[in-house]
Chains A and B, each alone.
Chain A
């Protein structure tokens, strides 16, 4: 029987890996990810999980070791955050180029300097062009459920791409909530599909992988990667629907539409802040505003069609970016703008930079951001970018 535990997001991630019966784990500690691999190390040591665990000397090596193990056919897992992710960036690219179904939670955290261990999404969003499927979870249950779904997606022979699952530093990683742990048997059945790998290192069938490739071949490899990412959309939807059928847990597929279809003002969010955005939408709905939230559950492949469909009636889209691309603004704002560029009747797209380095984004902030959407509409203002909770008096 499924049981409900009160656990933090890091434990949820560890349970997700355990239930997926990962065979290989390699990791380096970084706050606030550490608990994920501490828990897994314990599971392996006390025999709860039959896996090899390598305690490497860096994140670069953590993912390299996963690449080695996955190339030999094992189901591999690692986890990281912030500078750890930046340090393993080279191997992040290698893993997807090699088409290896590795799964990795990323506890999203700000970069230094100045040092900050708190929440921000810039780290994971910087990896969006590496060829990994990128999820952002809203809550601890979704962390667990998505890790299990991720292996099914990654190992699908039309996909064969690694998956990262973003989870907000401290807000998810260190906050305990009730999480339903499904039965092992259920997960076993869900992941039962035979996985055909793109290659396996085996002396009985010698192949060379990753050779130098001249210009007359390279582009085709890249096209196949691009195509796999496109094909992943239906596999992601299928995984979400099948999981919902088995467990009753549904977090959306590529997007999570919350009262979005008839909303005049829709807020576009990712990760844990989405919960507050939804609450703000409810409060405003009670006051007569037609507000909704479109949470991007998947950032790569980018849900362009899904977003267009969900927001085609919206008059204003408010994009909340807990990240910064200096010189242009929020990363999501620009991605979202691109999606609507080709529509005849375009919604106004207005961006907010909020909550960098773990600064709180309050419920009141979300309400004000929605209201700004209406103000822009009524006053026929040019949409732009605003910073929320910036202490201008100290600048």
Chain B
């Protein structure tokens, strides 16, 4: 693991973004650009990043960035990656920075296509678990029980498991990450960069207005998601599954905090009943049985 002292001081996410106070994924974006910059071309579909990069004529990102339509991020990146290859540019990394709506829902077709073709870029999904840019509507990545403006009494379906869907494409590198563990994310990006083909990273990133949490609790709550097992940290390198960081310890059920601790501190889960929490706890425990199997089959 990289030490904090080794993280580059250069900043490519510049001051003066239009992000909300306490925005989770900007922590991740800052880290991602440190890990990959400055030879990076970013592709951004519609989402919070379309706004936080600052409105014209202002710019808050120090690498070239192409905004593109919601469904088109991965295919646009395919075109850029192919163009770089045509030009003989082996240094520049293409980075897609897309939200969960643009990834789990509208963008998944293009993403799946690019994965199947093995197009050479890094795709990061920053997952704030709803369509936050349009005002907190449910996405395929919204968790069970969460209030959104289109699930007033709490979503009844479970979160779509996009990292595993991507792993099923047998791409060289898939990883999950959390903004509460930025160095883990940093290292995973560094590793992703060493592979050719499509690399997929799924970054869990709280959204204070969308999750109804205080703006100074972003990191704390992101950390709770990992500690309760609701958000496992792992990587799948050439098909080999490996839990990373604190998640390595959580295979032991007793070491996982109850999901209730994560649920109770967020306004978006306020309509969840005790039974709902039990349902969610059971779902998490089942997920971990799968992870245990995957970790063993190594």
Contacts and interface: CB of A to CB of B under 8 A. Distances in A.
Given A64-B72, A67-B76, A94-B69, A217 B57 contact: yes
A53 B50 CA distance: 29
Report, nearest first, the 3 A-B pairs whose CB atoms are least far apart: A68-B79, A57-B113, A210-B67
A58 B86 contact: no
Given A61-B110, A211-B54, A56 B69 contact: no
B99 to A, nearest CB: 15
Interface stretch (B23-31, B37-45, B155-163, B260-268): B37-45
A70 B76 CA distance: 10
B62 A68 contact: no
Nearest to B52: A212
Contacts of B295: none
29 contacts: A52-B86, A54-B79, A57-B112, A57-B113, A60-B72, A60-B110, A61-B74, A61-B75, A61-B109, A64-B69, A64-B110, A67-B76, A68-B76, A68-B83, A69-B83, A69-B86, A70-B79, A71-B66, A72-B80, A72-B87, A74-B86, A90-B69, A203-B38, A203-B63, A203-B64, A206-B38, A209-B67, A211-B50, A214-B56
B292 interface: no
B8 interface: no
B56 A68 contact: no
Q: Which of A55, A60, A201 counts the most B-chain CB atoms under 10 A from its CB? A: A201
Interface in A201-241: 201-203, 205-214, 217
Contacts of B39: 203
Contacts of A201: 41, 64, 66, 80
B247 to A, nearest CB: 33
Contacts of B119: 54
A65 interface: yes
Interface residues of B, number: 46
B67 A211 contact: yes
Contacts of A90: 69, 71-72
A55 B78 CA distance: 10
B92 A203 contact: yes
B75 A211 contact: no
Interface residues of A, number: 42
Given A68-B76, A69-B80, A201-B41, A52 B85 contact: yes
A344 B41 CA distance: 56
A71 B38 CA distance: 18
Interface of A: 23-24, 26, 51-52, 54-58, 60-62, 64-74, 76, 90-91, 94, 201-203, 205-214, 217
Contact of B79 (A72, A94, A208, A214): A72
Contacts of B76: 64-65, 67-68, 71
A65 B55 contact: no
B82 interface: yes
Contacts of A64: 68-69, 71-72, 75-76, 79, 110
A24 B62 contact: no
Contact of A69 (B50, B59, B82): B82
Interface in B108-134: 109-110, 112-113, 116-117, 119
Contacts of A74: 83, 86-87
Contacts of B54: 211
A57 B79 contact: no
B55 A208 contact: no
B64 A212 contact: no
Contacts of B66: 68, 71, 201, 209-210
